[in-house]
Every structure is written in structure tokens, then in C-alpha cells.
Amino acid sequence: MTGPQAVLVGPMGVGKSTVGRLLAGLLGVGFRDTDDDVEAVEGRTIAEIFGDEGEPGFRAIEKRAVHRALAEHDGVLALGGGAILDADTRTALVALRTVHLSMDVEEAVRRTGLDTARPRPLLAENPRERWQELMEARRHLYEGIATAVVATDGRPPEEVARAVLDAM
Ligand code: S3P
């Protein structure tokens, strides 16, 4: 096994899970999402893990989940938006096809605000300002590891999935 066929990275709410599922369907492979893995292994939601252990505790759990998924999964893998903060994770992604899904701040706030099914603890207060701060801190990390960038603004997920396929 050589690792996932494609890894999707990018900010919260950009649609990594939705696009990843569609892309996996187009490729005829499986889909896996490290946020789901974290919640399944822990038996707690991400919001609960942040509440219990804070961000450092969450990042340690997330790192283990990411490295397990990179070793086990050969389909499409979506990473939590902050997974690339870890240097070992960035190194592990170097040899893989890593696609950065990007969006602008208005779309980010709209999408993450609407997504009550999966609350993002890091955007709980002042989502617009927090998102902008996070992107300023992370943009160079996404850009540094991505083999392709696909803009998602105003595009339906089916179109984004096809654009990712074209970019691979
Ligand atoms: C986070 C992104 C979330 C989740 C957690 C922290 C981040 O994943 O892992 O809330 O730091 O950007 P999604 O990008 O799938 O929303």
C-alpha cells in the first residue's frame, strides 16, 4: 500500500468531506475523514474533546488518527483543517497527492455558521475574525504542501470534485 490516492486539506467548512465523498465516488475508491476517525476512536465529539482537554489534547489525538489513516487508507482522505499544523504530518504528506480546497472569508463564515451539525470550537466566538486569523497563520502551510489548489467559492460540490479530479 502506498497511501491515499488523494488527500484533501483546507479550512473548516470548505467542503472537504462532501467533496471527498464525491471524489471517491468518481474514482471508485473509499472515503475516510480524520474528524470522524477521532470521534469514533474517542467516543466523544470534537467539541467535547476540546472542552475536556483543550486544543493541545485534541491535536495529539488528531495526529495519531491522521498517521493511522495515512498508513491504512488507500482511497480519498480528508484531514481536519488544523491537521497540517503538525510538522510530522506535513512531512508525511510530501510524497502524496495533496489538494488544497480554498475559499474566501465570506463563504467560510456562511458555511461554518450554517453547519450546526458539526460545531467548530475554534470559531465559537467572532467567527469572521477567528477565521481570518487562522487563515493568516495557516495559508502558507496549506500552500507549502499542496500539489494543487482548487477554489470552491460559489461552486457546487460536484463541480469542485471534478475540478479536483482534473487537477490530480
Ligand atoms: C479544526 C477543524 C475541524 C476539526 C476541529 C479543528 C481546525 O475540522 O478538526 O474543529 O483547527 O481547523 P474540519 O476542517 O473538518 O471542520
- Closest C-alpha to ligand 1, atom 12: 81
Q: Among the atoms of ligand 1, which is closest to the Cα of residue 120? A: 10
Is residue 19 situated within a structural domain? yes
Predicted pLDDT at 150: 97
Residue 45 lies in a domain: no
DSSP letter at 61 equals: H
**What is the domain range of residue 15?**
6-32+73-167
Specify the ligand 1 atom closest to the Cα of 78.
Answer: 15
Amino acid at 123: L
- Return the closest-CA partner of residue 97 out of 165, 11, 33: 165
**Residue 80 Cβ < 6 Å to ligand 1:** yes
Residue 38 lies in a domain: no
Report how far ligand 1's centroid is from the alpha carbon of 138 (Å).
Answer: 12
> Which residue's CA is the closest to the ligand 1 atom numbered 16?
12
Question: Is 43 a member of any domain?
Answer: no
Domain count within the chain: 1
- CB neighbour list of residue 41: distance below 8 Å, 6 or more residues apart: 61, 65
Q: Which of 28-37, 103-112, 113-122, 146-155 has the highest mean pLDDT?
A: 28-37
In this predicted structure, which of 52-56, 78-82, 100-104, 128-132 has the lowest mean pLDDT? 128-132
Assess whether the C-beta atom of 142 lies below 6 angstroms from ligand 1: no
HEC letters along 102-141: ECCHHHHHHHHHHCCCCCCHHHCCCHHHHHHHHHHHHHHH
Whether residue 94 is contained in a domain is answered as: yes
The pLDDT tens digits for 105-114 are: 888 877 777 6
Q: What is the ipTM of this complex?
A: 0.97
Residue 47 within a domain: no
DSSP 12-26: TTS-HHHHHHHHHHH
* Residue 48 falls inside a structural domain: no
Q: Grid coordinates standing for 104?
A: 474566501
Q: Could you tell me which of 130, 31, 154, 29 has the C-alpha nearest to residue 81?
A: 130
Residue 80 lies in a domain: yes
To which residue does cell 475559499 refer?
103
Which tens digit of pLDDT belongs to each residue from 24-80? 999 999 999 999 999 999 999 999 999 999 999 999 999 999 999 999 999 999 999
Is 0.80 topped by the overall pTM? yes
**What's the CATH number where 12 sits?**
3.40.50.300
How far is ligand 1, taken at its centre, from the CA of residue 82, in Å? 6
